[in-house]
Amino acid sequence: MSIEYHDLSCEQQLIGAVLMNNAAFAVVDDIIQPHHFFEVVHARIWEVAASLIGAGKLCNPVTIRSFLPDANIGTMTISEYVAALAADATTVINSPDFARIIRDLADRRLIIEVGQELQQSGERDNLVLSAWAVDYLDGIVAAQSMSGAPALDMDAALVRAVDAAATAYERGGKIRGLSYGLRELDARTLGAAPGQLIVVGGRSSMGKSAMALSIARNFGLGGHRTLFFSLEMGDVDLTTRMISDEMFRPGHRMSYWQIASGRYHESKFQEITDAAARLRSMPIRIEQQPGLTVAQIGARSRQYKRRHGLAAIVVDHLGLVKASGRYAGNRVYEIGEITSSLKELAKELGIPVILLAQLNRGLEARDDKRPTMSDLRSSGDIEQDADTIMLLYRPAYYLAKKEPAAGSAEFLTWTAEMEKLENVLEIGIEKQRSGPTGRVKLFVDIGANAIRDEVSEMDDNSQLSDRERADFA
């Protein structure tokens, strides 16, 4: 016995309720669309009704009939059928329930179609097939989980705005989102706010990964459950960098290269395990599968939030995220699809999404290497979708390439300038939808993957002993 995943009675009751009282349409418009109806004639009636009501016109059996095809439904003309739907409608109160039943059945039909396609596609590549299935099924999950912001009259909207201003005053200028763990950056941005897409861009060796790991580590230390999508580095490399960052203090500093290569004194191993122990309880999950699509990132994030809760997402990086295939071959459109999808995900889940992005090589040819938003690859869509854009710049990286001959007069000047700039990381806040732009200067030690608020000299205890130096030789 076959199961029919449709309910014509519900479809008839919903259409009849709207024809009887157009106010019912506003209650269900965000739940159901024409393609959710099983009966083709019902889909057409709903489409016309939506068009008339959206234009501010009355929709009833008389006004709608001239827009419908001249056809018979059983023994009735379509005009007679529409009139019967309105006459038989019981109440508009149950309209949302009818709409949800119709929507759920439409989703069930789509799931069955996906299953049938999977069953009949033995010759297709498994990865391609699974990616296609995820795109379709994730669309259902996303649509079902989106609550949607309610429409508001001006008086209600103004009440919300005044309440928000009062809350901001009570905070006394304190952050409104998750703390980056960096005082100057928090002061400028008020933290990573829920629903925001925050883009962190930079050229190679500017500290993007260090910044992402520093943010994730500080989120984790604050008890905020974070998903870290690492599409480039593996878990061992990531956690080694976090350990190096954790050890960054006088007398304990070790670069992640030293830890990874084993070029450290035996006495340091206990410090490494101690640092790892301090980080063990951080609620951070690393997703390290390369080549994830933006739909897969969304699906995994929703699933994780349902099961465990979720406070933030970090994606490293934009250039390695795959689009759906809709715009295959056109990377500009693909970038737009990815950034808009991640922005929608941030709003849907009510959490910040931190997205790393590579900058164009063109800036390397400029005299002034300080980046601008136009240096973002496919910058138009990124600028449009991002709530905040932060671009990283390390002047010492470029100054090091201009090293003059040792012993020359220029060398002394260059050395003094290098000492001054060696640990400077400049963050240009190029866009901030709800705040000012500007620059923040932080301390960075790229080797240790450490980013801090203030430039401070490491004391003598941080220096390696002669014995340790011998071990590194």
How do residues 6-41 score in pLDDT, each as one tens digit?
A: 888 888 989 988 888 888 887 787 788 888 998 888
Q: DSSP character for 116? A: H
Per-residue confidence (pLDDT) for residue 201, from 0 to 100: 93
Question: Is the four-CA dihedral 404, 409, 415, 417 of positive or negative sign?
Answer: negative
Q: At 283, is the secondary structure helix, strand, or coil?
A: coil
3-state secondary structure of 435: coil
Indicate the range of 251-260, 380-389, 448-457 predicted with least confidence: 448-457
Which tops the pLDDT comparison, 137 or 203?
203
Average pLDDT over residues 318-334: 80
Tell me, what amino acid is at 384?
Answer: Q
Spatial separation of the C-alpha atoms in residues 399 and 419, rounded to whole Å: 11
Contact at 8 Å (CB) between 285 and 304? yes
Please tell me whether residue 461 adopts helix, strand or coil conformation: helix
> How high does pLDDT run on average in the chain?
82
Residue 271 has what pLDDT? 87
Least confident of 12-21, 345-354, 400-409, 458-467: 458-467
416 φ, ψ (degrees, to nearest 5): -65, -40
Statement: residue 137 has pLDDT above 90: no
Distance between CA 199 and CA 315 in Å, rounded?
10
Indicate if the pLDDT at residue 149 is higher than 70.
Answer: no
Please give the average per-residue pLDDT across 255-260, as a whole number: 86
Q: Which residue has the higher pLDDT, 147 or 50?
A: 50
- Whole-number percent of the chain with pLDDT over 70: 82
* Residue 104, burial from CB neighbour count under 10 angstroms (0-12, 13-18, 19+): middle
Each as own residue / partner, the long-range contacts of residues 254-260 (CB below 8 Å, 24 or more positions apart, any chain) are: 254/448, 255/447, 255/448, 256/447, 256/448, 256/449, 257/447, 258/472
The whole-angstrom separation of Cα 462 and Cα 466 is: 13
| Residue 107: CB atoms within 10 Å | 18
Q: What is the mean pLDDT of residues 70-79?
A: 80
pLDDT-based confidence at 472, cuts 50/70/90? very low
Q: Which residues pair with 49 in a beta bridge?
A: none
The string of pLDDT tens digits covering residues 214-248 is 999 999 988 999 999 998 888 888 888 988 998 88
84, 66 contact by CB (below 8 A) = no
Distance of CA 66 to the CA centre of its chain: 46
Window from 81-95, 101-115, 152-166 with minimum mean pLDDT: 152-166
| Least reliable range by pLDDT among 122-131, 202-211, 276-285, 414-423 | 122-131
Determine the distance from the C-alpha atom of residue 223 to the mean position of all C-alpha atoms in its chain, rounded to a whole number. Answer: 20
Contacts of 2 (CB under 8 A, 6+ apart): none
The sign of the torsion formed by the CA atoms of 268, 274, 278, 282 equals positive
Please report the domains of the chain, with CATH numbers, ordered by start residue. Answer: 8-120 (1.10.860.10), 179-472 (3.40.50.300)
Q: Does 426 score more than 90 pLDDT?
A: yes
The pLDDT value recorded for residue 135 is: 64
pLDDT band (50, 70, 90) for residue 425:
very high
Q: For residues 316 and 237, what is the distance between their CA atoms, to the nearest angstrom? A: 13
Q: Where are the alpha helices (DSSP H) in 146-221?
A: 154-171, 183-189, 208-221
Question: Long-range contacts: 76-83, Cβ < 8 Å, 24+?
Answer: 78/41, 81/41, 82/19, 82/45
Which of 6-20, 32-46, 105-119, 358-372 has the lowest average pLDDT?
105-119
Neighbours of 167 (CB within 10 A): 10
Pairwise CA distance, residues 242 & 227, whole Å: 15
What confidence category does residue 4 fall into, taking pLDDT thresholds of 50, 70 and 90? low
Extract the tokens encoding 129: 């097939």
Residue 456 has pLDDT above 60, yes or no: no
**pLDDT at residue 248, rounded to an integer:** 87
292 has a pLDDT exceeding 50: yes
Average pLDDT rounded to a whole number, residues 430-455: 86
**pTM for the whole thing?**
0.67
Task: Let me know: does 191 contact 179? Beta carbons within 8 Å.
Answer: yes
User: Could you tell me the two tokens for 282?
Assistant: 């951080």
The whole-number pLDDT of residue 374 equals 87
- Highest-confidence segment of 54-58, 147-151, 167-171: 54-58
Instruction: Cis check for the bond before 36: say yes or no (omega within 30 of 0).
Output: no
The whole-angstrom separation of Cα 218 and Cα 222 is: 6
Torsion of the alpha carbons at 164, 166, 168 and 174, rounded to the nearest 10: -150
Provide the 8-state DSSP code for 204. T
Asked whether residue 326 carries a pLDDT value surpassing 80, the answer given is: no
Q: Could you give the CA distance from residue 196 to residue 345 in angstroms, rounded to a whole number? A: 9
- Using alpha carbons, select from 392, 451, 362, 427 the residue that is nearest to residue 201: 392
Q: Which two tokens stand for residue 311?
A: 């406070």
Q: Is the pLDDT of residue 457 over 80?
A: no
Question: For the purposes of burial, counting CB atoms within 10 Å of the CB of 422, is it exposed (0-12), middle (13-18) or buried (19 or more)?
Answer: middle
The pLDDT value recorded for residue 212 is 92
Rg (alpha carbons) of the chain, rounded to whole number: 29
Q: Which of 64, 60, 72, 58 has the alpha carbon at shortest distance from 17?
A: 60
**191 to each of 86, 216, 276, how far by Cα in Å?**
53, 13, 27
| Maximum mean pLDDT: which of 255-269, 346-360, 373-387 | 346-360
What pLDDT is attached to residue 51? 86
Per-residue pLDDT, 168: 63
Tokens of 451: 């980013």
